[in-house]
């Protein structure tokens, strides 16, 4: 390597308990591939909640690349740390999904098999990707409230590892009877919407919770816009059936479901404070939230063939 050429540096952050421990199994291939590309690698493992954010803040300042190996929650923590770094010095973000649902990875076109994801990361095709800011907390791809949003942190890690998405479905069936209306007021593109809601999410993703799928034509990763899905609380069981049928069909077109596109949204909870979920991580006691799309907040490695065509078509 020429003496004048700057050495490239990569930080690899691993959640060793996500999924079935796959993050550790692919580490040799990941480090070997990065080394061949001229990177000096630093590896760190998380040990608990918010560790990944702290690792980014401690070790990422001089890095060119951060690779997160874990679930959506670990990716959330890494991106929260990255967004606290100066914009001009933020490393490129790569993701090797080893969690149970991996909605964020699906939107990025990352292969489900970890070794496939490693190879994709090594290819290094990068585009800017929007990031959400919920009050003062950043998130990668979705914040949500209401029905099912607590499942990712109320379902045990052991159940996630053993049963994956089925663990969420089983837990969700337990909670159907507990869905209650939440009185809220939204301000979106100057329009004020007040109603009782069963569920809502502000997202930059084609799939949410492993269940809700938005049409690909609705979602652009770096257009500065969220997709805002609001599901009103229906008056009877027939209404719930319509909602479920609309979601499972992928059409999202029943009278209780509304979808908006906006760069920001203001939310007021008109009753008791509620919990939101940010990429599956809890944010409790919320009465008011102002959510802003940070356009092109990070540079992210994605699947080249799928996204290149869509971005070029814009």
Instruction: Report the alpha-carbon distance of residue 246 to residue 243 in Å, rounded.
Output: 5
Residue 151 has pLDDT above 60, yes or no: no
Residue listed under structure tokens 């090797």: 96
Q: Which residue has the higher pLDDT, 151 or 127?
A: 127
| Residue of 70, 67, 11, 79 lying closest to 40 (CA atoms) | 11
Percent of the chain surpassing pLDDT 90: 58
Pairing relation of β-strands 226-232 and 92-97?
unpaired
Instruction: Report the alpha-carbon distance of residue 271 to residue 260 in Å, rounded.
Output: 24
Q: Which residue has the higher pLDDT, 102 or 223?
A: 223
pLDDT of residue 240: 82
For 178: left if phi > 0, alpha if psi spans -120 to 50, otherwise beta; the answer is alpha
The domain 8-130+296-312 is placed in CATH, from the list 3.40.50.10330, 3.30.1050.10, 3.30.2320.50, 1.20.1260.10, at: 3.40.50.10330
Decide: helix, strand or coil at residue 235.
coil
Q: Which residue has the higher pLDDT, 309 or 7?
A: 7
pLDDT of residue 148: 59
**Tokens linked to 201:** 């999410």
Instruction: Report the alpha-carbon distance of residue 75 to residue 67 in Å, rounded.
Output: 9
Taking the alpha carbons at both ends of the chain, their separation in whole angstroms is 39
- Mean residue pLDDT across the chain: 85
Residue 260 has pLDDT above 50, yes or no: yes
Residue 277 CA to its chain's centroid (Å): 10
pLDDT tens per residue, range 187-214: 999 999 999 999 999 999 988 877 788 8
Report the CATH number of the 139-295 domain.
2.60.200.40
Residue 100 has pLDDT above 60, yes or no: yes
pLDDT-derived band at 3 (thresholds 50, 70, 90) equals: very low
Provide mean pLDDT across the span 30-53: 94
| Residue of 98, 101, 117 lying closest to 109 (CA atoms) | 117
Residue 221 has pLDDT above 90, yes or no: yes
Instruction: Report the alpha-carbon distance of residue 271 to residue 229 in Å, rounded.
Output: 20
pLDDT-derived band at 32 (thresholds 50, 70, 90) equals: very high
Highest mean pLDDT among 16-20, 151-155, 202-206: 202-206
What is the four-CA torsion angle of 229, 206, 104, 36, rounded to 10 degrees? -160
Question: Which residues, other chains included, contact 88 with Cβ-Cβ below 8 Å and sequence gap of 6+?
Answer: none
Residue 244 has pLDDT above 60, yes or no: yes
Residue 161 has pLDDT above 60, yes or no: no
**Tokens linked to 227:** 């997709």
Domain-wise residue ranges, the chain: 8-130+296-312, 139-295
């Amino acid at each position: 390597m020429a003496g004048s050429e700057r050495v490239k540096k990569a930080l690899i952050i691993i959640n060793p308990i996500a999924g079935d421990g796959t993050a550790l199994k692919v580490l040799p291939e990941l480090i070997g591939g990065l080394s061949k590309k001229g990177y000096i690698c630093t590896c760190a493992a998380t040990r608990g909640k918010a560790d990944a954010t702290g690792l980014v803040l401690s070790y990422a300042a001089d890095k060119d690349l951060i690779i997160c190996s874990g679930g959506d929650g670990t990716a959330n923590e890494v991106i929260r740390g990255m967004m606290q770094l100066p914009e001009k010095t933020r490393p490129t973000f790569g993701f090797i999904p080893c969690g149970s649902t991996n909605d964020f990875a699906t939107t990025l076109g990352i292969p489900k098999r970890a070794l496939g994801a490693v190879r994709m990361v090594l290819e290094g095709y990068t585009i800017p990707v929007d990031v959400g800011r919920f009050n003062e907390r950043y998130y990668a791809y979705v914040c949500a409230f209401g029905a099912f949003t607590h499942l990712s942190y109320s379902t045990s890690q052991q159940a996630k590892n053993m049963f994956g998405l089925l663990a969420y479905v089983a837990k969700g069936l337990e909670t159907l009877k507990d869905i209650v209306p939440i009185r809220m007021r939204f301000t979106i593109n100057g329009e004020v919407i007040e109603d009782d809601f069963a569920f809502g999410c502000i997202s930059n993703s084609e799939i949410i919770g492993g269940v809700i799928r938005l049409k690909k034509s609705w979602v652009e990763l770096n257009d500065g816009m969220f997709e805002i899905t609001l599901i009103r609380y229906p008056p009877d069981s027939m209404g719930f059936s319509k909602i479920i049928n609309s979601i499972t069909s992928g059409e999202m077109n029943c009278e209780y479901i509304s979808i908006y596109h906006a760069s920001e949204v203001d939310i007021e909870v008109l009753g008791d404070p509620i919990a939101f979920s940010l990429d599956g991580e809890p944010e409790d006691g919320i009465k008011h939230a102002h959510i802003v799309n940070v356009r092109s907040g990070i540079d992210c490695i994605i699947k080249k063939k799928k996204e290149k065509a869509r971005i070029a078509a814009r």
